[in-house]
Amino acid sequence: MHNALGMPVLPLPVSKKTAARAGLVDLKEPARKLLNECFRQFGIEPVALSGNAAERFKKEKFEACVVRLGPAAHGLMEGVRTSASNSRMVIYGVGGSAQDALQYSKYGINALLKEPLERQATLNLVRATQTLVLHEFRRYVRIPLITEVSVTIEENRQLMASSVEISSGGMSLHSTENIPVGKSVEVSFALLTLPRIWSRGTITWHNVAKQTFGVRFDPQDPRRQKLKQWVEAYLEG
């Protein structure tokens, strides 16, 4: 194609379509600015939302949202999880500890941002969860999800932990307890639409500094199939 002077006209560059949107609900500076920068690094477009967030989530598709934990968060999360288009949205909670986040277990908070937000920690968290937001799944995807988990050890000793990531093959948990690697356990937990399930497993690693440990589920335990089906349905949704 040429213009009136006979010079070739180059086509305008096509802007890359944003792969996903993340709603930032009632966040103030500098937290909002930091989250804007971190999400955009991974092709996720942040959208600032105020008091109309619940209505926007009913009418528009979002792949993620960041919400401050508090009394108002219950209604917002309830609306998100019962929404036809946003029920699988990745929810980032701001403020509080992992223990505080367990109050919202039934809504399935995926990740927790501690205040004040730190650049590197925030960037690392967005990097770790971007595949879930963008629906770019690895073969063995791990779903970040915070829920209460009951862990029973061989000697019938029971302790409570909180999940960090879950897959059909195992899960990572947060706890102050130091369980030796190689120990056999049975875990019990519920996830959103998945009623409480139980599964045998083995402790495969332990990070004392971060107070986290990993459980590999027993592949011979038939009860694990319910979790496998739930994970597949969650990702397809």
d(CA 195, CA 227): 10
184 and 108, same structural domain? no
Residue type at position 133: V
Please report the pLDDT score of residue 182 as a whole number. Answer: 95
Is the pLDDT at 11 greater than 50? The verdict is no
Residue type at position 234: Y
Domain membership of residue 102 as a residue range? 20-134
Please report the pLDDT score of residue 137 as a whole number. Answer: 67
101 and 72, same structural domain? yes
Please report the pLDDT score of residue 12 as a whole number. Answer: 38
Number of domains, the chain: 2
76 and 174, same structural domain? no
89 and 72, same structural domain? yes
3-state helix, strand, coil in the chain (%, to 5): 30, 30, 40
175 and 123, same structural domain? no
d(CA 42, CA 133): 10
Q: Please indicate, yes or no, if residue 5 is contained in any of the structural domains.
A: no
Domain boundary among 109, 134, 159: 134
CATH number of the domain enclosing 54: 3.40.50.2300
pLDDT single digits (tens) 148-174: 999 999 777 899 999 999 999 999 999
Please report the pLDDT score of residue 237 as a whole number. Answer: 67
148 and 128, same structural domain? no
Please report the pLDDT score of residue 220 as a whole number. Answer: 95
Please report the pLDDT score of residue 138 as a whole number. Answer: 61
At residue 137, φ and ψ (nearest 5 deg) are -90, 140
126 and 147, same structural domain? no
160 and 83, same structural domain? no
Are 216 and 170 spatial neighbours (Cβ–Cβ below 8 Å)?
A: yes
Sheet strands (E) in the chain? 20-25, 44-49, 64-68, 90-94, 111-113, 143-144, 148-153, 158-166, 170-174, 184-191, 194-207, 212-217
119 and 28, same structural domain? yes
Quickly count: other Cβ atoms within 10 Å of residue 91's Cβ: 24
pLDDT band at 127 (very low <50, low <70, confident <90, very high): very high
Q: Please indicate, yes or no, if residue 7 is contained in any of the structural domains.
A: no
157 and 215, same structural domain? yes
pLDDT band at 139 (very low <50, low <70, confident <90, very high): low
Q: Please indicate, yes or no, if residue 6 is contained in any of the structural domains.
A: no
DSSP 8-state class, residue 51: T
d(CA 164, CA 214): 10
168 and 127, same structural domain? no
Specify the higher pLDDT residue, 16 or 54: 54
- Average pLDDT of span 225-230: 93
pLDDT band at 84 (very low <50, low <70, confident <90, very high): confident
Using DSSP bridges, classify how beta strands 158-166 and 143-144 pair: parallel, antiparallel or unpaired: antiparallel
- Average pLDDT of span 51-71: 93
d(CA 199, CA 187): 6
